[in-house]
Structure 1
Amino acid sequence: MLAGDRPSGVEICVTHQLTVTWERLLRMSSTKDMEFSTSGHAYTDTGKASGNLETECKVCNYGLTFTQNGTQTILLGQKSLENKLAEGLKLSLDTILVPNTGKKSEKLKASYKWDCFSVGSDVDIDFSGSTVYGWAVLVFEGWLVGCQMSFDTAKSKLSQNNFAPGYEAADFQLHIHVKDGTEFGGSVYQKVNEIEMPINLAWTAGSNNTRFGIAAKYKLDCRTSLSAKANNASLIGLGSTQTLRPGVKLTLYQL
């Protein structure tokens, strides 16, 4: 690590099953054109561990960004070009490699952002039959409307059709979503002083199974916060987060 570089954040989370989670971000140059980040999980009850390493390199003069992300089971790579061919236009190529099987897949992505409107499309590179994904989002005075669809070229049919409107204010958020015309859901978020409370509800057409959840977070001071959550499956979770020093947090959680 170069002189003057330092971790930008370390977070440790301990659950009732003695699962230790850590995350660390290192910036490797004073020009901020390269970043390394690592994260990991250690399960003391089973002795198993998992880790993740991500690198990002930016070539600002050409609008290029190279990103690599690797775990024990999968390798991800992305090459992107942004704001060079046109302002707001981003083109990227994603590559996924599974070392254990040697399976490799690629996806082309394109997105365009303009004021309060954005649109994008992804295409799987598969000669046996690609899937084309498309999405669009419109924002106006706190209101948001988004839609997402996918088309299976091998079967020549629409495989996904999702729609979601919402509203966002400084201390209030409302969101509704519809998936393929059969799954419905919504959520409400409200913040009053130091208390934050979200509520979500979901159900499927033709089924009596309704899913409901509620959570709350209370900020005791600038360093400590308490949280709790519960759902209709009688699962209750309690947590506490303590900022030990700038960039270092300790979270205790029990479900």
Structure 2
Amino acid sequence: MSIFEYLFGVNYKTGSEDIFQSFKLPKIFAVVTQETIPCLRDDGTLGEKIICKNEYGERIDCPINGDGGDNEDFSFPGNEMAPPYYADLGKKANDVFSKGYHFGVFKLDLKTKSESGVEFSSGITSNQESGKVFGSLSSKYAVKDYGLTFTEKWNTDNTLATDITIQDKIAAGLKVTLEGTFAPQTGSKTGKLKTSFANETVAVNTNLDLDMAGPIVDVAAVLKYQGWLAGANTQFDTQKGKFSKNNFAFGYQTNDFALHTNVDNGKNFGGSIYQKVSDKIDCGVSMRWTAGSADTLFGVGAKFALDADASLHAKVNNKSLIGLGYQQKLRPGVTLTLSAAIDGQNFNAGGHKVGVAFELEP
């Protein structure tokens, strides 16, 4: 596929007359729109599905392009999923560099679900360098009829956290979460009110720090048009009366290609490229630079799927730091991850790190 097909979704070898002649109704298109609505999966959890409507707002079967049937008569203005939230811009490339690696730790994660529908997650991490062992436990219960989700968390730092979330009940696409934490030993308490809204064109999320001395308001928005993405993120400290964050991002994203650039506070610049080369190979490129510094961090990473249950991960940057990972699904619900970080500039000096992680879930 050429770069023109990536950026514009058009095969430059096909003439306009050939395009129109490929439809049964020349130059006349039936308008079909898509919507994402909440639904219940077979296991009882809350999910989402796509529905299609005609120009009169009536629900119809979604067209399937390329099946050779009557559905090929439809075109899709706005036939795209909702844009990612600002924090998820560049996520595809970031996953290539972060997933499949656990340097310098021994980690065990366990997930299970009770018959009543309560989900339990626990994890323990041992840091080889500091010797510190960190553990966490959380439970999650969903009241599907009311769109509510309750989450309780505890960790070995003796911090308790409670999250209450309501989704798609106040308005379609709107999610509201109230978070609270409490540390019994110190008496420290925090609270946050989070909201997020997404449709086919825009994704907006806000975080309000419930600090009576002066809350911090964080707002981010991402606009999407034909695969192009433009986002902004700002944070205002009401106690100090100033903006503490002004970030901007721009990119382009399809199912198998993603380009992302960002500027944070006018001095930190970054960019990434993600390419799904084939069903087995994912590649990523990442770059970071700070104004006033001659030091640029550049990295290349890749993931190679050996089969449905095993994958290899590798990455390297311009400082000769090499990361290697191997992930194997031993059996359904049991995944083993082995990883190693190698300092190529000081290979004989040591300081290399290894990591082992087990993930268990039903």
TM-score strictly above 0.5 = yes
CA 1:222/1:64 → structure 2, altered by over 3 Å: closer, same or farther? closer
Deviation of 1:106 after TM superposition, in Å, equals 0.7
1:10 equivalent in structure 2: none
User: CA deviation digits over 1:110-149, x for unaligned, max 9?
Assistant: 2222332122222111121111111112222222222111
1:86 equivalent in structure 2: 171
Report the AA paired with residue 49 of structure 1.
Answer: V
Unaligned ranges ≥5, structure 1: 6-12
- When the two chains are superposed, the root-mean-square deviation of aligned CA atoms in Å is 2.3
Q: For 1:124, which of 201, 205, 209 is the aligned residue?
A: 209
Percent identical pairs in the alignment equals 43
Residue 52 of structure 1 contacts residue 71 of structure 1 at CA under 8 Å; is this kept in 2?
yes
Q: For 1:102, which of 176, 187, 203 is the aligned residue?
A: 187
Residue 37 of structure 1 contacts residue 54 of structure 1 at CA under 8 Å; is this kept in 2?
yes
1:245 equivalent in structure 2: 331
CA 1:136/1:46 → structure 2, altered by over 3 Å: closer, same or farther? closer
1:195 equivalent in structure 2: 281
SS at match of 2:145: helix
Residues 177-196 of structure 1 correspond to what in structure 2 (within 5 A)?
Answer: 177-193=262-278, 194-196=280-282
1:29 equivalent in structure 2: 115
Q: For 2:245, which of 151, 160, 176 is the aligned residue?
A: 160
Q: Which has the higher helix share?
A: 2
1:57 equivalent in structure 2: 141
Deviation of 1:63 after TM superposition, in Å, equals 1.9
2:310 equivalent in structure 1: 224
CA 1:120/1:42 → structure 2, altered by over 3 Å: closer, same or farther? closer
Report the AA paired with residue 226 of structure 1.
Answer: L
SS at match of 1:61: helix
Q: What is the rounded CA distance, in whole Å, between the counterparts of 2:103 and 2:207 in structure 1?
A: 40
CA 1:22/1:14 → structure 2, altered by over 3 Å: closer, same or farther? farther
Residue 109 of structure 1 contacts residue 122 of structure 1 at CA under 8 Å; is this kept in 2?
yes
Q: TM-score, normalised by structure 1?
A: 0.86
Report the AA paired with residue 271 of structure 2.
Answer: G
SS at match of 1:26: strand
Q: For 1:210, which of 282, 296, 300 is the aligned residue?
A: 296
Residue 14 of structure 1 contacts residue 21 of structure 1 at CA under 8 Å; is this kept in 2?
no
Report the AA paired with residue 294 of structure 2.
Answer: N
Residue 108 of structure 1 contacts residue 124 of structure 1 at CA under 8 Å; is this kept in 2?
yes
Q: Which has the higher strand share?
A: 1
2:352 equivalent in structure 1: none
- Number of matched pairs: 241
SS at match of 1:155: coil
CA 1:150/1:251 → structure 2, altered by over 3 Å: closer, same or farther? same
Report the AA paired with residue 247 of structure 2.
Answer: N
CA 1:189/1:130 → structure 2, altered by over 3 Å: closer, same or farther? same
- Mark the structure with the bigger radius of gyration: 2
Q: TM-score, normalised by structure 2?
A: 0.62
User: CA deviation digits over 1:27-72, x for unaligned, max 9?
Assistant: 1125x4x211112123578764321111111112222211112211
Residue 248 of structure 2 contacts residue 263 of structure 2 at CA under 8 Å; is this kept in 1?
yes
2:126 equivalent in structure 1: 42
CA 1:91/1:217 → structure 2, altered by over 3 Å: closer, same or farther? closer
Q: Which has the higher contact order (CA 8 A, sep 6+)?
A: 2
Residue 282 of structure 2 contacts residue 303 of structure 2 at CA under 8 Å; is this kept in 1?
yes
CA 1:16/1:114 → structure 2, altered by over 3 Å: closer, same or farther? closer
Deviation of 1:197 after TM superposition, in Å, equals 1.5
